[in-house]
């Protein structure tokens, strides 16, 4: 266990050291390369900022309007036989758009049900094994100008549904 703690604390500094050492061994100007990368990253942030603002605004409006509660009530009939708690529906939906907004919903679930409850455990695992599909697709595809996404969305939705199912299964094992 001590080795894992040491590894988790030293992996990032070790990686940075290895990258710098590799660059120096290849006679690269590591500092100039770093500055160029930082500058490119800054322009990438400027490019994706409108999309970020739009996604965050949309999620905030849907959350404040009560739409997610309304949707949970509608989907209760479908999720009931699957033993999927309706309290997790808003977090599962929001996670597909925004991880930070889903974290806010996760904290609300923790306050209401507790972190060690079935819902708290399920939500924690679900946040870890699902992806912000629409955020990721809009940012990455917009940045590299991908027009035809083909099977990306169906594959990402399948992976997310699998992650949600796994979170319920794992939480049920932990709570039994």
pLDDT at 49: 83
pLDDT at 111: 94
Average pLDDT rounded to a whole number, residues 14-42: 92
Give the Cβ contact number of residue 150 at 10 Å: 8
Question: Could you tell me how many helices (H) and strands (E) the chain has, helices first?
Answer: 8, 0
Average pLDDT rounded to a whole number, residues 80-89: 85
- Contacts for 123 with CB less than 8 Å, ≥ 6 apart: 88, 91, 106, 109, 110, 167
- Contacts for 36 with CB less than 8 Å, ≥ 6 apart: none
Q: Which residue has the higher pLDDT, 73 or 163?
A: 163
Instruction: Please write the tens of the pLDDT for every residue from 144-158.
Output: 778 777 888 899 999
Question: Is residue 59 a contact partner of residue 94, using CB atoms and an 8 Å limit?
Answer: yes
State how far the Cα of 74 lies from the Cα of 96, in Å rounded to an integer. 19
pTM higher than 0.75: no
State how far the Cα of 116 lies from the Cα of 99, in Å rounded to an integer. 21
């Amino acid at each position: 266990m001590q080795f894992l703690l040491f590894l988790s604390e030293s992996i990032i500094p070790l990686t940075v050291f290895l990258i710098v050492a590799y660059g120096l061994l290849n006679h690269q100007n590591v500092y100039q390369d770093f500055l160029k990368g930082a500058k490119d990253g800054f322009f990438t942030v400027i490019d994706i900022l409108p999309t970020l603002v739009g996604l965050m605004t949309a999620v905030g409006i849907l959350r404040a309007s009560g739409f997610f509660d309304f949707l949970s009530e509608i989907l209760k009939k479908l999720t009931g036989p699957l033993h999927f708690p309706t309290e997790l529906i808003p977090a599962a939906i929001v996670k597909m758009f925004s991880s930070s907004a889903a974290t806010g919903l996760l904290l609300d679930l923790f306050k209401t049900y507790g972190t060690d409850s079935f819902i708290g455990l399920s939500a924690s695992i679900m946040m870890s094994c699902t992806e912000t599909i629409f955020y990721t697709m809009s940012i990455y595809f917009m940045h590299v100008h991908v027009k035809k996404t083909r099977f990306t969305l169906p594959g990402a939705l399948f992976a997310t549904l699998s992650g949600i199912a796994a979170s319920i299964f794992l939480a049920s094992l932990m709570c039994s």
